[in-house]
Amino acid sequence: MLAIRAGTIMMKSGAEIYRVEDTIERICKACGIEYVNVFATPTGVFVSTDNEEASNTVTYIKRVKSSETDLTKISKVNQFSRTFTTTDMTVEEGEKILDDIEKNKPYPFWIRALSAAAVTACFSVIFGGGALDFCVTVIVGLLCYMLSRFLEKYEINFFIRGFCCCAFAAFFALLAAASIDGVSYAPVISGCIMLFVPGIAITNSIRDFLSGNMLAGVARLTEAIIIGVSLAAGAGVVLEIWYMMGGLAI
Amino acid sequence: MMNLVSQFVLALFATMGFAVIFRVPARHIPACVIVGALGWVTYLITDYNIDSPAIACFFGACMVGLCSAVSAHIFKEAMTIFIIPGILCLVPGANIFYTMEALLRSDIEKMAEVGIQTILMAGAIAMGLLAMGAVINVVRALLSKTISIKDKL
């Protein structure tokens, strides 16, 4: 079913619930299905369609597996649903376009890694770091992002991923602070934390609450809190161990 | 003033990084970047004048919401694309860390202080987006009403 595929792609890429439900409903209406009921959550999409007689009810359930933010896909599916509803595109053509969208290539890895380094380094200065901190954070941020991608490849869940990356960042920050004069660890670690902060979960959960999707709102809020805790715990464990090992001059 | 400019530039680059990581379509990156940097500068100015990070976060989030709505309207795109990279600058990532650090030093007083501020700031971001969302809906409704009245006349 075309509509539900479009919906699933959007949900995977991190769209809000109401946008997913709206898109599915519009596509169904454009196909001439009068009665559509959509219920979407971050982990699954349910669509039920029927015509006048209640006996013809058809229900689709699609489980949405773990997601990765891809705003290009959201934008493309958005445009697709607009063209699909306004022109008389056939379902087969639509399927083909969705295939293309799903195969959409992200930016090359090195560009993403460099931008991750830019994020961490800029934030380390915003949080009161100096020029030396900037240089250290570029390297630590780069390594952190690579580690996160590496863990993602082996489908390690997001809690452990956040924990490991932050622990890693904290370790290197402390190492740099201990070995290089004039580097302080706090801006470096907080810069790296910014890379993994659950901004999308927070933003989307608010917008879900706002549009009345309480279930999705709660789910995403919980996700945000859990990620936040995992980040703090990751950095905290390493700091604690560092102090216990004798603390070396910090 | 100089400080503000340098912060603006830093926020520009930071938002650009986020935009690339979250795969914003390349042609929308400039708009995203400006939204993010404006949000951060709004935060800084309010924080400087009122000296309350939570309220500053609120205004920063309002700014991000407003700019995103405007750019979403101009480019005929989903608002999410502009909001997500823009809002990330305001998220209190450093405070998460300082809360943790205070906890490790068993400095409960400081932990409570920073921790509560972190929660307040996150809440303020939420409130800012919420308030802006409501305002935008009202404005949009008013606009469509005036257009339909114009059509009738």
Is the CB of residue B38 less than 8 Å from the CB of residue B62?
no
The answer to whether A72 contacts B23, with C-beta atoms less than 8 Å apart, is yes
Of the listed ranges A53-67, A117-131, A224-238, B31-45, the one predicted with least confidence? A53-67
The ipTM value here is 0.76
**Could you give the CA distance from residue A173 to residue A143 in angstroms, rounded to a whole number?**
12
Q: Confidence band (pLDDT; 50, 70, 90) for A1?
A: low
What does the domain layout of chain A look like in residue ranges? 2-102, 109-244
Minimum-distance CB partner of A122 among B14, B103, B134: B14
State yes or no: pLDDT of B113 exceeds 80: yes
**Could you give the CA distance from residue A36 to residue A22 in angstroms, rounded to a whole number?**
11
What are A228-246's pLDDT values in tens digits? 888 888 888 888 888 787 6
Q: Which residues of B touch A218 (CB under 8 A)?
A: none
Answer with the residue of higher pLDDT: B25 or A4: B25
Q: Which of A25-34, A105-114, B116-125 has the highest mean pLDDT?
A: B116-125
State yes or no: pLDDT of A95 exceeds 80: no
State yes or no: pLDDT of A52 exceeds 70: no
The mean pLDDT value for A29-36 works out to 77
Nearest by Cα to B113 from B128, B123, B98, B125? B98
State yes or no: pLDDT of A213 exceeds 60: yes
Element (H, E) at B92: none
The residue assigned the tokens 């971001």 is B125
Minimum-distance CB partner of B125 among A202, A210, A240: A202
Answer with the residue of higher pLDDT: A214 or A34: A214
Q: What is the DSSP string of B25-86?
A: -GGGHHHHHHHHHHHHHHHHHHHHHH--HHHHHHHHHHHHHHHHHHHHHHHT--THHHHHHH
**Interface with chain A: mutation pick from B16, B21, B95, B136, highest number of A CBs within 10 Å:** B21
Minimum-distance CB partner of A235 among B17, B18, B97: B97
**Could you give the CA distance from residue A179 to residue A99 in angstroms, rounded to a whole number?**
51
State yes or no: pLDDT of B42 exceeds 70: yes
Alpha helices in chain A (DSSP H): 2-12, 17-30, 71-86, 91-102, 109-126, 131-153, 158-179, 185-196, 199-210, 214-244
